[in-house]
């Protein structure tokens, strides 16, 4: 009977770790952007900081963009934290995690020598656009993201923290150990009888 109690505690720990993953992992997210045509445009990791209204300020973005049609392929660099207008894009680098999206100002970064922005287009989220390189509509300096771009789906998923993984593995280990102990106790009773 003792083994089953230990197993129950272990299972509770593992389930508790899984249930708490989104709340504990509010700082790091995997992200993807897939164009409406189904071509993967980008993926990587977002790091968030403090809350900003209903969203979170980004402190970093890593990953790659693969957009052969626009001639923009490579690793993301040159992330610009904070808000403002660089003369080409207006941006504020805020991400909303409830229903994952960015606002109409978007997330600004560089890919090679090309500046890029993922922003919320009129009528839905989201679009990926490049300053002066994108064939669907070049960006005019000083514009407020009222321009063409490649519309598609922006998605984020929480990345569990190491403590969450440790708690989950500890719970699964306890459950497995307790079941093994229960089997030994059962065989010991059979031998005695």
187 and 110 fall within a common domain? no
Among residues 121, 156, 155, the alpha carbon closest in space to that of 136 is found at 121
Give the model's pLDDT for residue 141. Answer: 39
105 and 185 fall within a common domain? no
Per DSSP, 173 falls in state: H
The structure tokens listed for 95 are: 């991400």
For 107-158, how does the pLDDT look when each residue is reduced to its tens digit (9 = 90+)?
A: 999 988 888 888 886 666 788 888 765 444 444 433 444 445 677 888 888 7
53 and 71 fall within a common domain? yes
110 and 173 fall within a common domain? no
Give the model's pLDDT for residue 41. Answer: 86
How many alpha carbons fall within 13 Å on the CB side of residue 103? 17
Domains identified in the chain, total number: 2
58 and 78 fall within a common domain? yes
- Domain with 14, as residue range(s), is 2-23+162-192
31 and 99 fall within a common domain? yes
31 and 95 fall within a common domain? yes
Give the model's pLDDT for residue 142. Answer: 39
For 89-117, how does the pLDDT look when each residue is reduced to its tens digit (9 = 90+)?
A: 778 999 888 778 888 888 999 988 888 88
154 and 103 fall within a common domain? yes
pLDDT band at 37 (very low <50, low <70, confident <90, very high): confident
Give the model's pLDDT for residue 43. Answer: 93
11 and 76 fall within a common domain? no
Please tell me which residue, 79 or 161, carries the higher pLDDT value: 79
Give the model's pLDDT for residue 85. Answer: 80
For residue 77, is pLDDT > 70? yes
18 and 30 fall within a common domain? no
Give the model's pLDDT for residue 140. Answer: 41
96 and 146 fall within a common domain? yes
| Contact (Cβ atoms closer than 8 angstroms) between residue 121 and residue 149 | yes
The structure tokens listed for 68 are: 């052969």
Look-up of token digits 């998605």: 155
């Amino acid at each position: 009977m003792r083994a089953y109690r230990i197993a129950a505690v272990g299972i509770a720990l593992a389930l508790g770790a899984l249930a708490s993953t989104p709340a504990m992992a509010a700082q790091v997210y995997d992200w993807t952007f897939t164009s409406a045509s189904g071509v993967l445009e980008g993926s990587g990791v977002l790091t968030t900081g403090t809350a900003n209204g209903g969203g979170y300020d980004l402190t970093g973005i890593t990953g790659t963009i693969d957009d052969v049609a626009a001639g923009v392929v490579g690793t993301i660099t040159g992330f610009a934290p904070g808000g403002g207008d660089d003369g080409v894009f207006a941006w504020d680098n805020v991400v909303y995690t409830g229903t994952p999206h960015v606002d109409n100002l978007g997330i600004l970064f560089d890919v090679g020598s090309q500046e890029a922005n993922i922003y919320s287009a009129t009528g839905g989220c989201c679009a990926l656009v490049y300053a002066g390189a994108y064939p669907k509509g070049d960006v005019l300096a000083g514009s407020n993201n009222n321009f063409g771009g490649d519309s598609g789906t922006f998605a984020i998923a929480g990345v569990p923290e190491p403590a969450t993984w440790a708690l989950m593995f500890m719970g699964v280990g306890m459950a497995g150990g307790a079941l093994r102990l229960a089997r030994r106790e059962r065989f010991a009773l059979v031998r005695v009888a």
